[in-house]
Amino acid sequence: MKPIEAVNDFVIKFANVNGSGSASANELFAKAILRMGVPVSPRNIFPSNIQGLPTWYEARVCERGYSGRRGGVDMMVAMNPQTWDADVAELSPGGYLFYDSTRPIPPSKFRTDITVIGVPLTEISNSAYTEPRQRQLFKNIIYVGALSVLLDVEAEVFEKLFAEQYKGKEMLLDSNVKALHLGRDYVKAHLQAPLGIRVRRADEVGDLIFTDGNSAAALGCVYGGATVAAWYPITPSSSVPEAFQKYCDKFRVDPDTGRSNFAIVQAEDELASIGMVVGAGWNGARAFTATSGPGISLMTEFIGLAYFAEIPVTIINVQRGGPSTGMPTRTQQSDLLSCAYASHGDTKHVLLFPEDPHECFEHAAAALDLADRLQTPIFLMTDLDIGMNQRLCKPFAWDDARTYDRGKVMTAEELEAGKDFGRYKDVDGDGIPWRTYPGTHPTKGSFFTRGTTRDPYARYSERGPDYIYNMERLLRKFRTAADLVPQPVLRSAAHATPLGVIYFGSTSPAMQEALDVLTAADIHLDALRLRAFPFPDSVDRFIATHEQVFVVEQNRDAQMHALLVNELGVDPARLVKVLHYDGTPITARFITRAIQTHLQGATALVKEAA
């Protein structure tokens, strides 16, 4: 089998043990490639339980800039004996296996169609270090050094990264540089390098930034005017409020008085956290909570209250595998229905679907505006893949002249002038009523906030006509939201085609690559990336103008497919499900194979019928 040959276009996967200190070494490797001007997209696959379980780190190196998972592994760094067989099996034919050869491994444990590279990492580390923890930690840096020679990554790049990381800590700096060169020196003396896969300096990163979606969403909340956050720790969302705290400490502390202009509360549970956020929103503050699927389940009664009482709330849902505890450290898009219709009774909520950290920043700020404008809960629907994995994206931008959209808020002056105030009254046909902040006027503009039915002036009522008025007005408001949310993005095929594809969120990077691969195979699809629910009219038109539309999503039950059918009345036969839900991010190869297989099957049926 001929070894794989590729420059700046390969997938390397590290198989490690959780708690071994490998994560920082693997991230160092990815950042070094970035510093050489080559785009890289890493993904950390880690266990939800205790230290000692398997963990993986997969890095996609791609000069063309594809950031989704490709599928397949070109090089496996096998550092975990527990997962050896599965890791070796995952390698593509012609791939490379790198392992610690300190202890002999039976020939039966290898494959004949791959290139095997053994480096006695433990032996090298034990010879250089005496303290057990040092031996383990520096063994990771030693393998990074060895890989740097095998893959032709410049040593100076690593040394500069070390210098930045350990500035003022010369002992740590020297120790890491020493470990790096231990690995490099061994490969230079004993192995042929570089390999068929390698890195070559390029200039394809440009001004792109390398960050994660949770940090981006937190910063978006700061710029979007949030002053209150209440949360309860849950994977994979906890780093959102943690990052919000960090940014608030930097941007929301009065330099003259030292006073903090924000409130962040770690509540005793999800119920308390959403209750605090609802209370803050009622009081006029911009407030949010961050959680995941199990947290949403607990919050639904408060969410229903905020919907019916029309209180602005922003909820950042970093989705994970469910149901129940599910797979806390795996990714899915499986909370669409539970969020779109959260709470009992007839409820419909606005959902935003960012595709990367850049849109996490933008959509978090937009969610706070929409919550105020629409006086309702807004869900920012990210997931673990976007939230916790670093990736390249456009730099964040903010217009300092931008003002916050507070919506229809009646002032004391307007009340004093005799303006009619009906808290739940539709005044202009968009379904959105006026509201007042508590304490706006000493005698006017007050109302009773309740979760029970009322008339347009907030007076308690169980009359059927009053209930119907409110429920139909809420539907009008939901239709208004379709024009206010981020609109879909259309990618038209080069040729007229009866085929379309709909996708959203974290499927986007893999989808972009899949579309290019399908086009090269003379399969042309118009593509529509959804960015929000409710669906604008353009989504209905897109489906209507295509004979078949593939709907790509990461859940078992085709939840986006169900939303499209339920909300737009689409014939289900026009929509083809492409479902991926094993907890790993969807790959370009999976999407390509699913669409090609369906089309081949459809062609065979037509021929059979003929």
Do the strands 287-291 and 377-383 form a parallel or antiparallel pair, or are they unpaired? Answer: unpaired
pLDDT of residue 46: 86
Model's pTM, two decimal places?
A: 0.96
Q: H or E segment at 485?
A: none
Query: What values do phi and psi take at 225, rounded to 5?
Result: 95, 10
Report DSSP letters for 351-414, one per residue.
EE---SHHHHHHHHHHHHHHHHHHTSEEEEEEEHHHHHS-EEEPPP---TT------SB--HHH
Distance CA 584, CA 591 (A): 14
Distance CA 32, CA 59 (A): 12
Contact 427, 433 (CB under 8 A): yes
Distance CA 166, CA 150 (A): 26
Question: For the stretch 245-274, what's the b/e string if a residue is b when 16 or more beta carbons lie within 10 angstroms of its beta carbon?
Answer: bebbeeebeeeeeeeeebebbebeebbbbb
Query: What values do phi and psi take at 114, rounded to 5?
Result: -130, 165
Which of the 8 DSSP states describes residue 36?
A: T
pLDDT of residue 366: 98
pLDDT of residue 167: 86
pLDDT of residue 607: 58
Q: H or E segment at 77?
A: strand 73-78
Report DSSP letters for 402-426, one per residue.
------SB--HHHHHTT----TT--
Distance CA 186, CA 173 (A): 20
Q: What is the mean pLDDT of each run of 10 residues along the chain (610 residues)?
A: 95 93 94 98 86 91 97 97 96 98 95 97 95 91 98 96 88 90 98 97 97 98 98 97 98 94 97 98 98 98 98 98 94 98 97 98 98 98 98 96 97 96 97 97 95 96 97 98 98 96 98 98 98 98 98 98 97 97 97 97 62
Contact 247, 258 (CB under 8 A): no
First to last CA, the chain: 43
Distance CA 281, CA 393 (A): 31
Q: What's the Cα-to-Cα distance from 496 to each of 493, 513, 530, rounded to whole Å? A: 7, 20, 21
Q: What's the Cα-to-Cα distance from 370 to each of 351, 438, 511, rounded to whole Å? A: 11, 20, 28
pLDDT of residue 609: 58
